[in-house]
Structure 1
Amino acid sequence: MTATTATPILEPALAYALWAADYPAYAHNPVMRAEERAMLGLLPTDLRDTVVVDAGCGSGRYMRHALSRGAAHVHGVDLSPEMLARAAAVPAEANAASRVALVQGSLDALPLGDGVADLTLSGLTIGHLERLEPALAELRRVTRPGGRILCSDVHPTGHALGWLRDFKAGGHRYAVRHTPHLYSDWHAACLRLGLAIERVLEPMLDPTDIPEGAHFDRQALDVPVALVFRLRRIPAPPPGSLP
């Protein structure tokens, strides 16, 4: 992530169509590594008998982690057909094709049934949507009552400092559109939707992840780079129970 005013900012579908060819299924920059350490710290180590939805699965990095921890089934959803094509290599590499289903769809209109997931993941995707609450509502809908949601986004501090989610394709530099969602936005949306905020992490960069000679905003070492939530879908009270 760099701060510049000359980089063209693209809509997510176009950006990932260009980016997909060079987008690996692992955390490939210091910000992603910081975010992933926080997410994996909240992800159960044993996912046997667990159905997982990876919403905004991209090239499949969290699908890979879910499968390695024994997930019974993983539904991967992404807006970009090009990224889904990359994600298709993950179950094949893990010899887990029968445990994975991939489908194209948007985070605010997931093509999945209600309550299909015991655990829903969404890594660094929700900021691609301008409105937070419809996306959170969909993550809640596909998660069973009592189930959990692990969700991360680029920290809004970075947006305030002018950072972009930028990449190179065909010798040119581009950025993908990103909307910052403040903690207060998350708190208000979760309250309205019946989602309990169980944990909030704000990971920092690890200086050892930064390549020698890298050009980056030195302020990034002093501020959190991601906002990571563990949410729980609050079960509805039984009919006729007292409020």
Structure 2
Amino acid sequence: MNPIPVMEPAEAYALWAREYPAHAHNPVMCAEQRALLALLPTDLRGKHVLDAGCGSGRYLIHALQRGATRATGVDLSPQMLERAAIELSVCGFGTRHELKQGRLEALPVADGAADLTLCGLVIGHLPELEPALAELRRVTRPGGVVLCSDVHPIGHALGWQRDFKIDGTRYAVCHTQHLYSHWHAACSMLGLVIEAVSEPMLDPADIPAGAHFDPVALNVPVALVLQLRCPL
């Protein structure tokens, strides 16, 4: 069997964008999203929400549906931002959102601009954790909240890949394993307080009939979701 080509994020998402929906579209994403949305306030009126690595806009949509006064999405991929613009337009959110191209390690956002910052399934694409967390802290107001998620590090140990299929060919996006101990050390260094940690499991109901998957995945957590508080 030929190995799956592993691509850098910019190249991978340029290819994946045209088929990337603005909702959780696989069992791991469904588990991750349930855990993250459980931490996202149900009433975001008066709040500016930043989605760092917004992709096709799924968490921007959730934030705006929960009443966010303003929502800003930043993503490395112009193709994914184009997809997000279409999805947000279809949802009819008008001018309450803004999309910007930028890197997670250098967000084009002013210091303390966001009341709440989201970063869903993105940090694992970066080789180092601390620079990304430093940026998420910088753009979030003192006392504000950062919600982060990533594929659980156990998946990397089991050989799982962030893969996708286009025109019958399977590809994978490069991914770095960030252990909980790495998160703890980086947060301690930056003064971020870990307020909540969730390790969601797969729901068998989310697995399509006849799907080929590692059965071990039913017995281990598939995502790591953290709620972080910025220092005052």
- Give the TM-score band, short-chain normalised: over 0.9
- Secondary structure at the aligned position of 1:234 is classed as coil
User: 1:97 Cα shift?
Assistant: 2.6
Aligned residue for 1:161?
158
Aligned-partner Cα distance in 1 for 2:230–2:154: 27
Q: Does 1:98 align with 2:106?
A: no
User: Letter of the aligned partner of 2:67 in structure 1?
Assistant: G
| Identity value in percent | 68
2:26 corresponds to 1:29 = yes
Kept in 2, the 8 Å contact 1:63–1:90? The answer is no
Q: Secondary structure at the match of 1:98?
A: coil
Rg larger for: 1
Q: Which of 174, 199, 204 pairs up with 1:202?
A: 199
Structure 2 gap segments, 5+ residues each:
none
Shift of 1:89: 1.8
Give runs of ≥4 in structure 1 deviating > 2 Å: none
> Which residue of structure 2 lines up, in the alignment, with residue 238 of structure 1?
none
Q: CA deviation at 1:169?
A: 1.3
SS state at 1:75 partner: strand
Alpha-carbon separation, structure 1, partners of 2:226 and 2:178? 13
- Superposed counterparts of 1:40-51, under 5 Å: 40-51=37-48
Mapped pair 1:176 → 2:173: yes
Q: Which residue of 1 aligns with 2:35?
A: 38
Out of 183, 188, 202, the position equivalent to 2:185 is 188
Task: Identify the residue that residue 240 of structure 1 maps to in structure 2.
Answer: none
Q: TM-score, normalised by structure 2?
A: 0.98
How far residue 155 of structure 1 moved from its aligned partner, in angstroms, is 0.3
What is the SS of the residue equivalent to 1:54? strand
Distance 2:13 2:153 in 1: 21
Alignment RMSD? 1.0
Distance change (3 Å), C-alpha of 1:218 and 1:10: same
SS of the aligned residue for 2:161 comes to: strand
Question: How does the TM-score come out when normalised to structure 1?
Answer: 0.94
Distance of 1:26 and 1:137 partners within structure 2: 28
Provide, for residues 35-86 of structure 1, a one-character-per-residue CA deviation record: whole Å limited to 9, x for no partner. 0000000000000000000000000000010010000001100000000000
Rounded to whole Å, the distance in 2 between the matches of 1:93 and 1:48 is 21
Mapped to 2, the partners of 1:55 and 1:61 lie a distance apart of: 12
Equivalence map 1:43-82=2 (5 Å): 43-82=40-79
- Counterpart Cα distance in 2 of 1:110 and 1:131: 16
Instruction: State the AA in 2 paired with 1:135.
Output: A
The residue identity in structure 1 corresponding to 2:61 is R
1:141 aligned to which of 119, 138, 143: 138
In the alignment, does 2:214 pair up with 1:234? Answer: no
1:89 aligns to 2:91 (yes or no): no
Q: Secondary structure of the equivalent of 1:198?
A: strand
> Mapping of 1:13-24 within 5 angstroms?
13-24=10-21
For 1:220, which of 217, 221, 229 is the aligned residue?
A: 217
Q: Find the aligned partners of 1:214 and 1:127 in 2 and give their Cα distance.
A: 25
1:201–1:228 CA contact under 8 A, matched in 2? yes
